[in-house]
Amino acid sequence: HSVFSPRARSSNRGFTLIELLMVIAIIMILAGITFGISRGVQNAQARTRAKAELAVIAQALESYKSTYGDYPWTQNEEGDAAGLVLTKALLGWKVFVRSGTTTTFKDKAVSEVPSSGPKAFVDPTKLSTSGTIPSAPTTKPTDLAFTDPWGNEYVYAYKQNSSSWDNFGFILYSKGADSSAIAVGTNGILTTDIRGADDNIDNIYSGE
């Protein structure tokens, strides 16, 4: 038979439109599965990193308490946001000052800081941060906060209102991938309802 017979032409024809669409659909399904798996792996890695960073911060807070007798208060004399309170305290700038029976929590004066800088409880270069890490140990941070793998500040609270705070310890967590959270009340009690709220369902808490 001739190679140019109708049967030969039929066997060498290209894909039909339906066959092309089927191939495209299969490629898209496989790409979606691959993307989903990759995204899941990235999220798991981010959660692992957040837990490790929370452990570092929590340990630094324990060292701070061992030195000054209490954790940094969210309620403070300068009125700093909680993220800045945390970083200032762990870099040694925010301290407790006691005068008789009165205790205040405030910034150290630059004149009180030695040339080597204040006693720091954590190395900020080992953690992700928003704001600026001071280039000199004697420069007080003004906008620095520790951030989680999703770029959000770690949430810290302790004695937001010292008269109503009923939690023995501090509150420290990441908002997770959804970057949203409902905060605890001024009593500091992390209730089941708060933890189970939609905005808090993927929060990562220190010590868990």
Q: Give the whole-angstrom CA distance, residue 104 versus residue 145.
A: 22
Interior angle at CA 75, CA 84 and CA 140, nearest 5? 30
pLDDT of residue 5: 54
Tokens encoding 196: 């189970």
Beta-carbon contacts of 153 under 8 Å, excluding residues fewer than 6 positions away, are 83, 130, 145, 146, 147
Tell me the pLDDT of the chain averaged across its residues: 88
| Helix 17-68 / helix 82-90 crossing angle, nearest 10 deg | 60
> How does DSSP classify residue 160?
T
Question: Residue 14: is its pLDDT beyond 70?
Answer: no
Q: What is the mean pLDDT of residues 11-30?
A: 76
- Do residues 141 and 118 lie in contact, with contact meaning Cβ atoms separated by under 8 Å? no
User: Band of the pLDDT at 163, cuts 50, 70, 90?
Assistant: confident
CA atoms within 13 A on the CB side of 145: 17
Q: Give the whole-angstrom CA distance, residue 195 versus residue 42.
A: 24
| pTM for this prediction | 0.80
Range with lowest mean pLDDT among 27-31, 36-40, 170-174? 36-40
pLDDT, tens only, 65-118: 999 999 999 989 899 999 999 999 999 999 999 889 899 999 999 988 999 999
Tokens encoding 75: 């309620």
Question: Residue 173: is its pLDDT beyond 70?
Answer: yes
- Do residues 133 and 141 lie in contact, with contact meaning Cβ atoms separated by under 8 Å? yes
User: Band of the pLDDT at 174, cuts 50, 70, 90?
Assistant: very high
Q: What is the mean pLDDT of residues 146-157?
A: 96
